[in-house]
A and B are shown apart, each in its own frame.
Chain A
Amino acid sequence: MQLFDLEAQGLRALNATLHEQAGISNQTQWEVMNPRGSHAIAVGLDAPIEVNVKGSTGYYCAGMNQQATVHVHGSAGPGVAENMMSGTVIVEGDASQYAGATGHGGTLVIKGNASSRCGISMKGIDIIVHGNIGHMSAFMAQSGNLVVCGDAGDALGDSLYEARLFVRGSVKSLGADCIEKEMRPEHLELLAELLERGGCDAKPDEFKRYGSARKLYNFNIDNAY
């Protein structure tokens, strides 16, 4: 276990040290002490290492992650795991706005609630939220899966493309072009795998599936507000 005191050693040293692990995998366990809500913690990682952040983080923790597992033992500020490509990010507490925004791959698990715009413009990432999510989540979501064990706020999946949304609780309102869809066996199977990956004990058949009506896919002036 490699210990890193962020307060004493600074952000630049932390990220530079973690970037140096690319191609070197004999130091795979890292613990970051005293994060104190700092921004851009463990961003741009590209190695199969595990980083445990012992506290809450500011903006963009684990941004653009590749391969690494980043475990936040606290809550995460806006944009956690934004544009993640691969790997896993786990938030023990709550996540602020834009969690998993534009993520291309990997898994983001939020054990508390996520705020607004969770999964905005997601492009292949899988996001599993144990609690609730805020308004405008999965806006223009292109690909990937968003699983919500609690409730969803207003305008879920507005202008959605091909991402799949699974919600167990209530949905305050659906956004433009987002509709409830049939939960077929292949979706239950996929959801079961996602729930297991996210450490959730919820049952797949308790969820509803939402997706794109695909009516906004080609420009039509009659769709203008």
Chain B
Amino acid sequence: MKDDNHGIPRTVPIQSATFSNPINAEIRRAAATGIYDIRGGGAKRRVPHFDDLLFLGASISRYPLEGYREKCETKVTLGTRFAKKPIELEIPITIAGMSFGALSGPAKEALGRGASMAGTSTTTGDGGMTPEERGHSTQLVYQYLPSRYGMNPNDLRKADAIEIVVGQGAKPGGGGMLLGQKISDRVAEMRTLPKGIDQRSACRHPDWTGPDDLEIKILELREITNWEKPIYIKVGGTRPYYDTALAVKAGADVVVLDGMQGGTAATQDVFIEHVGLPTLACIRPAVQALQDLGVHREVQLVVSGGIRTGADVAKAMALGADAVSIGTAAMVAIGDNDPKWEEEYQKLGSTTGAYDDWHEGQDPAGITTQEAKLASRLDPVEAGRRLRNYLSVMTLEAQTIARACGHNHLHNLEPEDLCALTMEAAAMAKVPLAGTDWYPGKPGF
């Protein structure tokens, strides 16, 4: 900054940390349009996460396993509490619920193909089960949502498990909306609504209101399906101790817990960024609830929201999860936000890695769209292969860490394998701050 004409230094312009350029831009956008920002995906803000944890590895006090030659098991069985036919998965990484409607048909097929090759399950979403999805998924979890779009007993019986969705991490307490741009003839028919209108999904179930009702709802679903199917209850990360306890009380076989980094097809940005708990903060209270009720491992815990690598898988499992679930990462694996579409992202006012206007149905990668031309850009066979590869790498990474910690099964990972890099992560994960034997709130301190 130059001095003024009299040689007196000028004040250096300082950007406000509170009124930053992105914040001001949003104020201007809101002032111009009168509408809040709607987008897809999960929380983009920095929150304490698995990156804030480290594994300690083996040493004199712990005996490691040989990296390539000694077995480290990855199988997991979900639904052992009440279901006659629990789901048996080769790897503890499942594909989270994403609807046909939010995603294109080829994208759903790719998820089914990749998951099936990897020996794991996929999950339907709002809007019901498509024959293609059932056909390409060897293990398919059927979501039971407040809207009940496409819900019917025949598909319920075709499913391998049923997931009662109470909430999701991106918008706990919120419903959904699929904008008219994405309502093709087929999507409209599956949801019993006119083409082209915005399809709202309710935030509450229409025929039960609390845990006592939910227990009876689960009884009904079990009676309809001959007590064969595992019943999951999915909750967004809000009050994980109590939600987990109530899910167990209601009779769940599996609790699915989704933190705020978990994605959605579309909701308000303010909802995504300001409601809910980080995934890291959810796991220990949920595990504590299971332990207090004496059902840890009997009722399985699946954690989702920001799982990206085998290290994340291993960390979630070390904190007590039985398995994890991925949505956003699976989309990236099959081609979402790929740099090869940068020119088109620019035209849409975005850039690679930041594109999140999934609700508009103009996805250059052909994943979050119902436009036939765009959807045809995704080759479901090739995309399925990419997902299989990615799942395989994550599993190998998690095994690498588990062996280094001396465990012959991913389920043997434990909190004692971990330390935290920050006070916040130490408090949330209840593992010691690195180099200490202390974490905030530790009894006796």
B291 is an interface residue with CB less than 8 A from chain A: no
Which residues of A have CB within 8 Å of B191?
142
Q: Are A101 and B153 in contact (CB-based, < 8 A)?
A: no
Any chain B CB within 8 A of the CB of A60?
yes
B223 near A83 (CB under 8 angstroms)? Answer: no
Q: 1/0 per position for A79-118, CB-CB distance to B under 8 A? A: 1001101000000000001100110100000000000010
State the main secondary structure of chain A at its contact with B. Answer: loop
| A64 closest partner in B (C-beta) | B153
Partner of A43, one of B148, B177, B220: B220
Does A123 contact B216, Cβ atoms closer than 8 Å? Answer: no
Is A161 interfacial (CB 8 A cutoff)? yes
Structural contact, A219 and B179, CB atoms closer than 8 A: yes
Chain B neighbourhood of A19, CB < 8 A: 226
Among A8-16, A24-32, A146-154, A167-175, which stretch is in contact with chain B?
A8-16
Q: Are A82 and B223 in contact (CB under 8 A)?
A: no
Nearest residue, chain A, Cβ from B212: A59
Partner of B193 from the list A16, A85, A139, A142 (CB cut-off 8 Å) is: A142
For B208, the chain A residues whose CB sits under 8 A away are: 78-79
Contact of B192 among A79, A120, A143, A218 (CB under 8 A): A143
Residues in A whose Cβ lies below 8 Å from that of B225:
44
In the complex, the answer to whether A82 meets B207 with C-beta atoms within 8 Å is yes
Q: Closest CB-CB distance, B192 to chain A, in whole Å?
A: 4
Q: CB within 8 A of B197: which of A11, A82, A217?
A: A217
Chain B residues contacting A217 (CB-CB under 8 Å) are: 180, 194, 197-198
Cα separation A142 to B188 with both chains bound (whole Å) = 11
Which of chain A's residues have a CB closer than 8 A to the CB of B148?
A: 83, 102, 121, 123
Of A19, A120, A123, most buried by chain B (CB within 10 Å of CB) is A123
Would you call A63 an interface residue if the criterion is a C-beta within 8 Å of the partner chain's C-beta atoms? yes
CA distance A36 to B200 in the complex (A): 38
A43:B152 contact, CB within 8 angstroms? no
B156: interface (CB < 8 Å): yes
Residue in contact with B198 in the complex, picked from A40, A79, A140, A219, CB distance below 8 Å: A219
**Which chain A residues border B202 with CB–CB below 8 Å?**
121, 140
Given that A60-B216, A85-B152, A159-B200 are contacting pairs, would A44 and B206 also be in contact in the complex, using a CB cutoff of 8 Å?
A: no
Task: List B160-179 residues whose CB lies under 8 Å from chain A.
Answer: 177, 179
Taking a contact as CB atoms under 8 Å apart, the answer to whether B216 and A66 are in contact is no
Closest to B149 in A: A123
For the complex, give the distance between the alpha carbons of A123 and B127 in Å.
Answer: 13
Query: A46: CB under 8 A from chain B?
Result: yes
Tell whether A39 is near chain B: CB-to-CB under 8 Å.
Answer: yes
A120 touches B198 (CB 8 A): no
- Nearest CB in chain A: distance from B29 CB, A: 13
Summed over the interface, the residue pairs from A and B with CB atoms below 8 Å come to a total of 100
Interface size on B, residues (CB 8 A): 33
Inside 8 A of A120's CB, which chain B residues have their CB?
206-207
B34 within 8 A of A: yes
Tally of contact residues, A, Cβ under 8 A? 42
In the assembled complex, the CB of A161 is this many whole angstroms from the nearest CB of chain B, namely 6
CA distance in complex: A60, B219 (Å)? 10
Contact with B along A50-83 (1 / 0, CB 8 A): 0000000011100110100000000000110011
- Which residues of chain A have C-beta atoms less than 8 A from B300's C-beta? none
Chain A residues with CB below 8 A from B180, complex form: 217-218
B151 on the A face (CB < 8 A): yes
Please tell me if the beta carbons of B223 and A12 are within 8 angstroms of each other in the complex.
Answer: yes
Q: How far is the CB of A56 from chain B (nearest CB, A)?
A: 15
Q: Contact at A44–B194, with CB atoms within 8 Å?
A: no
User: A40–B216 contact, CB under 8 A?
Assistant: yes
B147 interface residue (CB < 8 Å to A): yes
B224, A63: Cβ atoms closer than 8 Å: yes
Q: How far is the CB of A216 from chain B (nearest CB, A)?
A: 8
Say whether B75 faces chain A, with CB atoms less than 8 Å apart: no
Residues of B within 8 Å of A98, CB to CB, are 206-207
Complex-state Cα separation, A95 to B219, whole angstroms: 20
| Contact (Cβ within 8 A) B34 A221 | yes
**Chain A min CB distance to B160 (Å):** 17
* A131 within 8 Å of B (CB atoms): no
Choose from B147, B197, B200, B213 the contact partner of A78 (Cβ within 8 Å). B213
Question: A17 vs B156: C-alpha distance in the bound complex, in angstroms?
Answer: 19
Report the separation of the CA atoms of residues A19 and B153 in the bound assembly, to the nearest whole angstrom: 12
Contacts of A161 in B (CB 8 A): 193-194, 197
Tell me, yes or no, whether A124 is within 8 Å of chain B by CB.
Answer: yes
7 closest A-B pairs by beta carbon, nearest first, are A44-B224, A98-B207, A102-B148, A217-B197, A64-B153, A79-B207, A101-B207
- Could you list some 8 contacts between A and B, CB below 8 A? A40-B223, A60-B207, A64-B156, A102-B206, A117-B207, A121-B147, A217-B194, A217-B197
Which residues of B are interface residues toward A (Cβ below 8 A)? Answer: 34-36, 147-148, 151-153, 156, 177, 179-180, 191-194, 197-198, 200, 202, 206-208, 213, 216-217, 219-220, 223-227
